[in-house]
Each structure stands twice: as C-alpha cells, then as structure tokens.
Structure 1
Amino acid sequence: MKNNILIGFVFLLLVSCSKTKEPIVSFYYWKTIFKLSETEKEVLRENNVTKLYIRYFDIGLHPESKEPIPISPIHFQENMDGFEVVPVVFIKNKVMLQTNLDIEDLAQKTFSLVEEINAKNKIASQEIQIDCDWTLESKGNYLKFIERFKKLSHKKLSATIRLHQVKYFKKTKIPNVDSGVLMYYNMGSIAPDAENSIYSSKIAEKYLKSLKKYPLHLDFALPIYSWGVHIRDEKVIGLRSKLNVSELKKDKNFEQIDAIFFKVKKSNYKNGIFYEENDKLKIEAISAEDLKEMAQELDGNLAQRPNEIIFYDLDEFNIKTYEKNIFKQVVSYF
C-alpha cells in the first residue's frame, strides 16, 4: 500500500514538473558577419542561451539569367563552441514562383553550401531551417523542395510558418518538416497611418484560434526589432532599420511631432539615407508590454506547449532597449 502511494506521488510530481517546464530562450542572428558584442554575449549568458538560429544566406534570382543564386553568405569571426547552431536559409518567394525551377538542382546546391559553411567553421549542425513565405501560387515548388531537401540532408528540418498559413493550412498545405516556427510579427501592412505593422493584437486575434487546429508542432518567434517607416508626401518610400524613438530624439535634424512620428526639419543624410525637409518617419517598435501580451495571447491558444521561444533578432541595438530579464519574463507565460 505504501509503495503504491509512493509511486503515485512520484508520478504526480513528474507530471507536475513536465507541465511547469518553461520553453528555452533562443535567438535569431541575422547579420552577414557573426561577431558578438559584449552586450550580446552578456544577454546569452544571463538567459542560458545555447541555441542560435543563424542566417547562412539568402537565395534570390540572378538579375539577368533569373537563375537561383546565393546572396550574402555569412562569415564567422568567432568560434561557435558551446552553441548549437541551426543554419537558416531564407528563400525569396519569387524563386519558388519560377515555372521552370530545377528543384533537384536547387536543393542540392543549397545543402552543399550549408555543408561548406559548416565545414569551414567546424560546425556540426543537427538541424536546418528553411525560411520562405510561400503562397498558393508557389506552394507546389516549395513543398517539392522541402521533400527533396529533407531526403538530401538527413537532418532535422524546420520551417518558418506565417499566421495566414496556419489559418488556411488546408489550402496552403503543411510542409513535410519536423517542426515549424510561427513568425508572430509583420502582421499588418506598412502604411503612413498610425498602425504598427510589426504587431497588432486586433490582427492577431483573427488567427489565434486556428493554432489549436494546426497539426504541426510549433515553436514561436517574437520580434524585438524596430524600424522607421520613411514617408514623403504621405506615401511610404522605404523602411529604415536601426531606428527608434530614443535614437531620433538625439538628432537635431528631426522633430518629434507625436509619440511615434518625427518630421525632418532640415534635409540631411542619416545612416546613408537621404531625408528631404518635411519628410516623416514613423517609428514602429515592440515594447516589453507588447512581448508579454504576445506571450499571453499565444499561451491561451496552444495546441502544444512550445519547446522554445526564439527572439528576432540578436543585435545590441535591439536588446539594449529592454530590461535584462525581459526574455525570461516572456517565456514564463508558457
């Protein structure tokens, strides 16, 4: 009798522990040169980060031949010992839209370049991630590419998933991968109005209930970046990275006209971009409260608990705007 009680207690304890186990904190790294600043290293240490999703290269189309080509492969300037590295390959959708796409050739060349970068930098990756915002028109080529790439690599394969692909998965289909990463950002249209295109709880609400029906296991990617929407004559003419409110407040060429809008007082160059007098910049950013709200929304609509929360992206400019323990706070909601 006592043994049965003891066994029952141990079982309940194990179940309880499994339910309270939090996802791990991971990061995307999206630069062409891998070199960590002291601030970035500190964040990795404080959050016990051992897994990094590193963009290895993009795949686009040659401007003349329209053949798929690798763009800006990464260069490592640091030893990757102590980290589990997941190579990420971003494939532009226009590649998958090619009617005469040689899928076999693309899969082989993509895998070969990943392996070449790994060998050069003594990295033994167990997983590869494919990042592509495929559409109904490109899904045929994309799904075939995933099938072929998986057979070639003999590794765990993950894919990025967008909200619309979750809600309409019967139409967009589900790639034959081991797991997906839901990109919980870039939800709205980039416009000169006051709406934040990176995150909107109103837009998210339209998709959240679909998560419970999605058959593929999902981890979640949350945004920690900001940018400026460059507006001229009430039209968007571009996105400007590495900009936030505190950065623009320091610049005498810009005048803050409300919480997120700045006006160009005098024509000038900033970070290599020309701004005409009277141009506007709308700052879109993600606050700590936004991140917590995202976590709560996702946790309330889970089919399965995520294994990790991946923050996009690891960059000193991004992380210095948050308190040090924000990442642990966010994962604690799951």
Structure 2
Amino acid sequence: MIKRFFWSLLVFLLIACGKNEKPIIAFYYWKTIFKLSEKETEILKDNNVRKLYIRYFDISLNPENQQPIPLSPIRFQQNVNNFNIVPVVFIQNKVMLSPDLDIDDLAQKTFSLVEKINSANKIQCNEIQIDCDWSLNSKENYLKFIERFKKLSHKKLSATIRLHQVKYFKKTKIPNVDSGVLMYYNMGTIAPDSLNSIYNKKIADRYLKSLKKYPLHLDLALPIYSWGVHIRNQKVIGLRSKINESELKKDQNFEQINAVFFKVKQSNYKNGIFYEENDLLKIEAISPEDLFEMAGELDENLAQKPKEIIFYDLDEFNLKNYEKNIFEQVISCF
C-alpha cells in the first residue's frame, strides 16, 4: 500500500509540475545587421533569453524577369554563440503566386543561402522557420515548397501561422511542419480611422474559438512594436517606423489632438520624411495592458499550452516602452 501510494504521489507531482511549467521567452530579430545594443543585451540577460529567431533574408520577385531573388541578407557583426539561433526566411506571397515557379530550385537555393550564412558565421542551428502569409491561390505552391524544403534541410521546421489560416484551415490547409507560430498581430486594415491595426480585440474575438480545433501545435508571437500611420487628406500615404507618442509630444512641429492622433502644425522633415502642414499621424502601439489581455485570451482558447512566447521584435526603440519584467509577467499568464 505504501509503495502504491508513493508512486501515485510521484505521478501527481510530475503532472502538477508539467502544468506549472512556463513557456520560454524568445525574441524575433528583424534588422539587416546583427549587433545588440546595451539595452537589448540587458533585456536578454535579465529575462534569461537563450533563443533568437533571426530574419536571415527576404525572398521577392526580380522585377526584370519575375524570378525569385533574396533581399537584404543578414550581416553579423557580433558573435551569437550564447544563443540558440533559428534562421527565419520571409517569403513574399507573390513569389508563391508565380505561375511558373520552380519549387525545387527555390527550395534548394533558399536552403543553400541559409547554410552559407550559417557557415560564414559558425552558427549551428537545428531549426529553420519559414514566414509566408500564403493564400488560397498560393497554397499549392507553398505546401509543395515546405515539403521540398523539409526533405532538404533534415532539421526541425516551423512556420508562421495567421489567424485566418487557423479559422479556415480546411481550405488554406496546414503545412507539413513540426510546429507553427501564431502571429497574434497585424489584425486590421491600415486606415485613417482611429482603430489599431496591430491589435484589435473585436477582430481577434472572431478567430479565437477556432484555436482549439487547430491540429498543429502553436507557439505564440506577440507584438511589442509601434508605428505611425501617415495620413494626408484622409488617405494613408505611408507607415512610419521608429516613432511613438512620447517622441511626438517633444516635437514642436506636432500637436496631439486626441489619444492617438497628432496633427502637423507646420511643414517639416522628420527622420527623412516630409510632413506637410495639417497632415495627421496616427500612433498605433501595444500597451502592457494589451499584452496581458492577449495572453489571457490565448490561454483560454489554445488547444495546447505554448512552449514559447516570441516577442516581435528585439529593438531598443521598442524595449524602452516597457518595464524589463513585462516579459516574465506575460508568460506567467499561461
């Protein structure tokens, strides 16, 4: 009896510990040069971050011959031996829409370039991630590409997944990858209205219930970035990065007219961009309260607990908007 009780207690404790295990904290790194600032290094150290998802290059179409071409490959100016590196390749959907796409050739060249970058920088990786917002019209090419790439790489393969691909997975299909990363941002249309296109709870609510039915294990990507939507004559003329509310409040050329809108008082150049008098800048950002709300919603609706929470993206400009323990607080919601 005592022996049976001991084993029953041990099983209970193991199950309980498994339930209490938190997801790990990871970050996306989305610049073309890898060199960590003092602030970025501090955040990684304070949060015991050991895994970085680094954008290696984009793939677009050459405008001259409409063939796939890599854009802006990463350059490393710092050693990354202390981190588990996951190369991320962003493929524009128009590549997969190409009617004469040579999928075998694309898979081979993509993997070769990843390996070349790894070799040049003495990086050993056991996972590669493909980032592509594929559509109904491009799904056949995309799914075939994933199959070819997986056979070539012999590594763990992950893919980014959007909310619409979760809800309508029977139509959009599920790529043959080991795991997915749900991109829980960029939910709305970039528009001159007051809505936040990065995170919109009403839009998210339309998809959340679908998560329990999704067969593929999902980890999570949460946003910590902000941008300005540049509006002229009620039309969006561009997105402006590296800009936030606190910065505009200090600039005498801009006047805050409500919670999200700033008006240009006089024509000026800022960060190389020309702002005409009476232009508007709509600031879209993610507050700590937004992050906690996202975490709570996802925890209630995911089929399985995530193993990782990946924050997008690791940049000093983004990090200074949050307390350094925000990341630990967010993962504690799961």
Map 1:142-291 to 2 at 5 A: 142-291=142-291
SS of the equivalent of 2:48 reads coil
Query: Cα distance, 1:7 vs. partner?
Result: 1.2
Q: Alignment RMSD, CA only?
A: 0.5
SS of the equivalent of 1:228 reads strand
Map 1:83-94 to 2 at 5 A: 83-94=83-94
Aligned AA (2:135)? T
Query: 2:104 aligns to what?
Result: 104
Query: Cα distance, 1:324 vs. partner?
Result: 1.0
Does residue 331 of structure 1 match 2:326? Answer: no
SS of the equivalent of 1:58 reads strand
SS of the equivalent of 1:49 reads coil
Query: Cα distance, 1:82 vs. partner?
Result: 1.2
Map 1:110-121 to 2 at 5 A: 110-121=110-121
Query: 1:306 aligns to what?
Result: 306
Aligned AA (1:122)? K
Q: TM-score, normalised by structure 1?
A: 0.99
Aligned AA (1:127)? E
Q: Percent identity?
A: 76
Aligned length: 334
Map 1:33-44 to 2 at 5 A: 33-44=33-44
Q: Once the two structures are superposed, what CA deviation does each residue of 1:277-316 show, in whole Å capped at 9, x if it has no partner? A: 1100000000000000000000000100100000000000
Q: Once the two structures are superposed, what CA deviation does each residue of 1:87-129 show, in whole Å capped at 9, x if it has no partner? A: 0000000000000000011000000000000000000010000
Query: Cα distance, 1:218 vs. partner?
Result: 0.2
Query: Cα distance, 1:25 vs. partner?
Result: 0.3
Structure 2 unaligned blocks of 5 or more: none
Query: Cα distance, 1:224 vs. partner?
Result: 0.1
Query: Cα distance, 1:169 vs. partner?
Result: 0.1
Q: Counterparts of 1:81 and 1:224 in 2: how far apart (Å)?
A: 25
Q: Once the two structures are superposed, what CA deviation does each residue of 1:4-47 show, in whole Å capped at 9, x if it has no partner? A: 11111111111100000000000000000000011101110111
Q: Counterparts of 1:239 and 1:294 in 2: how far apart (Å)?
A: 24
SS of the equivalent of 1:300 reads helix
SS of the equivalent of 1:282 reads strand
Q: Once the two structures are superposed, what CA deviation does each residue of 1:141-170 show, in whole Å capped at 9, x if it has no partner? A: 100000000000000000000000000000
Query: Cα distance, 1:80 vs. partner?
Result: 0.7
Map 1:7-18 to 2 at 5 A: 7-18=7-18
Q: Counterparts of 1:63 and 1:99 in 2: how far apart (Å)?
A: 15
Q: Counterparts of 1:136 and 1:272 in 2: how far apart (Å)?
A: 38
Q: Counterparts of 2:273 and 2:104 in 1: how far apart (Å)?
A: 40
Query: 1:137 aligns to what?
Result: 137
Q: Counterparts of 1:72 and 1:132 in 2: how far apart (Å)?
A: 17
